[in-house]
């Protein structure tokens, strides 16, 4: 029994070393995604005005050396926390817009940030809380006054032009044009950690499997709520051994097993109630947790 307890302790120590650094990371640390333009080119092209007063210009394609580190479409479900826009010698009202591709070459709006007026000859940075989904693009609502510099002229680039704008939510809109201008906008995305518990099953040998639906890649753990490997102080006797897995988006199952202490209690009482903590940490994002109750029978 002492050998088993020693092995359990070694496992918890190893898992603690794996998981605690992930929990300690700030939301903008390793893994936070930046999409859109790299913003390394200066704005050198003007828009003479938009039909209806406002257009939505979205990034449809960019050469690799002009892309932000995360590409031009969001690889995760998450929240835009920061956005940036580059302006030239003229500026005007502008707003970040999430542009969602649909079937058949159509697009719809995923929402927009509050309107701002960027500084001239500079890159302006703004805080925001704007949801975004995997596959979404970004663009900017702007240029009703004309002669506004938020773009750079470049070959092999697709600027999707929606006018009259701004791009609306609904069944979908086709761009009126796709021309060779780089829209000088990018955004930082914090991956979401919200997940859904689909199923909890008791298995032979005191194991409990938990199946959840995950929005993003990351680390999934299940175990005793008092285990420091799952972010707890770790100062109480444990009834469950943690199970940990590196995961991809979608339906994922992780298994936790009863400790010798729990099996002894179950053998004496015939029944045992345990609480299972499920902890998901997306790459680059903050963790979230849920606790489910399970009744075990001898």
- CATH number of the CATH domain containing 280: 2.60.40.1940
Q: Do 21 and 49 share a domain, yes or no?
A: no
Q: What is the pLDDT of residues 47-63, one digit of tens each?
A: 666 766 788 999 999 98
pLDDT recorded at residue 145: 64
Domain boundary among 190, 212, 231: 190
- Residue 178 and residue 292 in one domain: no
- Per-residue confidence (pLDDT) for residue 165, from 0 to 100: 77
DSSP SS3 for 194: coil
Q: Does residue 88 register a pLDDT over 50?
A: yes
Specify the range with the lowest mean pLDDT, choosing from 1-10, 163-172, 209-218. Answer: 1-10
pLDDT-based confidence at residue 7 (cuts at 50, 70, 90): very low
pLDDT of residue 234: 67
| Pair (104, 198) in one structural domain | no
| Tally of domains in the chain | 2
Say yes or no: 184 and 224 in one domain.
no
Lowest mean pLDDT among 15-19, 95-99, 174-178: 15-19
How buried is 8 (Cβ within 10 angstroms: 0-12 exposed, 13-18 middle, 19+ buried)?
Answer: middle
Question: Average per-residue pLDDT in the chain?
Answer: 85
- Same domain for 272 and 165: no
Instruction: Say which range, 17-21, 175-179, 235-239, has the weakest mean pLDDT.
Output: 17-21
Cβ pair 211, 102 in contact under 8 A: no
Give the Å distances, CA to CA, from 82 to 2, 26, 185, 261.
52, 15, 11, 48
Both 44 and 181 in one domain: the answer is yes
Query: Same domain, yes or no, for 197 and 281?
Result: yes
Q: pLDDT class for 274, splitting at 50, 70, 90? A: very high
Kindly state whether residues 174 and 251 are assigned to the same domain. Answer: no
CA separation (Å) from 67 to 36, 60, 187? 6, 11, 12
| Model pLDDT, residue 212 | 97
pLDDT band at 235 (very low <50, low <70, confident <90, very high): confident
Domain-terminating residue out of 190, 208, 229: 190
| Candidate from 227-231, 267-271, 288-292 with smallest mean pLDDT | 227-231
| Inter-residue contact 278 to 220 (CB < 8 Å) | yes
Q: Which of 27-41, 125-139, 283-297 has the lowest mean pLDDT?
A: 27-41
Q: Which residue(s) pair with 247 in the sheet?
A: 218
Residues 42, 186: one domain?
Answer: yes
Query: Tokens 């999934």 map to which residue?
Result: 220
For residues 217 and 92, state if they share a domain.
no
Domain that holds residue 202: 2-28+192-297
Task: Categorize the per-residue pLDDT at 194 as very low, low, confident or very high, splitting at 50, 70 and 90.
Answer: very high
159 shares a domain with 73: yes
Distance CA 28, CA 168 (A): 30
Residue ending a domain, among 134, 167, 190, is 190
Element (H, E) at 55: strand 55-61
Q: Do 80 and 218 share a domain, yes or no?
A: no
| Mean pLDDT of the 117-123 span | 93
pLDDT of residue 48: 60
């Amino acid at each position: 029994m002492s050998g088993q307890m020693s092995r359990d302790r070694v496992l918890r120590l190893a898992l603690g070393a794996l998981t605690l650094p992930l929990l300690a990371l700030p939301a903008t640390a390793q893994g936070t995604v930046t999409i859109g333009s790299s913003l390394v080119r200066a704005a050198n092209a003007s828009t003479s005005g938009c039909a209806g007063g406002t257009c939505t210009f979205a990034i449809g394609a960019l050469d690799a050396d002009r892309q932000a580190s995360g590409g031009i479409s969001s690889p995760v479900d998450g929240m835009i926390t920061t956005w940036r826009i580059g302006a030239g010698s003229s500026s005007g009202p502008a707003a970040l817009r999430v542009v969602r591709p649909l079937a058949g070459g159509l697009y719809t709006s995923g929402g927009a940030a509050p309107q701002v007026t960027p500084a001239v000859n500079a890159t302006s940075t703004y805080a925001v809380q704007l949801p975004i989904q995997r596959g979404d693009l970004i663009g900017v609502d702007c240029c009703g006054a004309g002669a506004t510099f938020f773009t750079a002229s470049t070959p092999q680039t697709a600027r999707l032009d929606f006018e009259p704008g701004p791009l609306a939510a609904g069944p979908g809109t086709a761009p009126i044009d796709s021309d060779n201008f780089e829209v000088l906008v990018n955004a930082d995305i914090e991956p979401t950690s919200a997940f859904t518990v689909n199923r909890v099953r008791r298995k032979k040998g005191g194991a409990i499997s938990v199946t959840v639906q995950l929005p993003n890649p990351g680390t999934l753990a299940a175990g005793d709520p008092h285990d420091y490997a799952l972010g707890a102080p770790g100062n109480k006797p444990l009834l469950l051994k943690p199970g940990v897995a590196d995961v991809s988006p979608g339906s994922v199952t992780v298994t936790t097993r009863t400790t010798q202490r729990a099996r002894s209690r179950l053998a004496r009482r015939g029944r045992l109630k345990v609480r299972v903590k499920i902890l998901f940490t997306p790459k680059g994002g903050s963790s979230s947790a849920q606790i489910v109750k399970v009744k075990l029978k001898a």
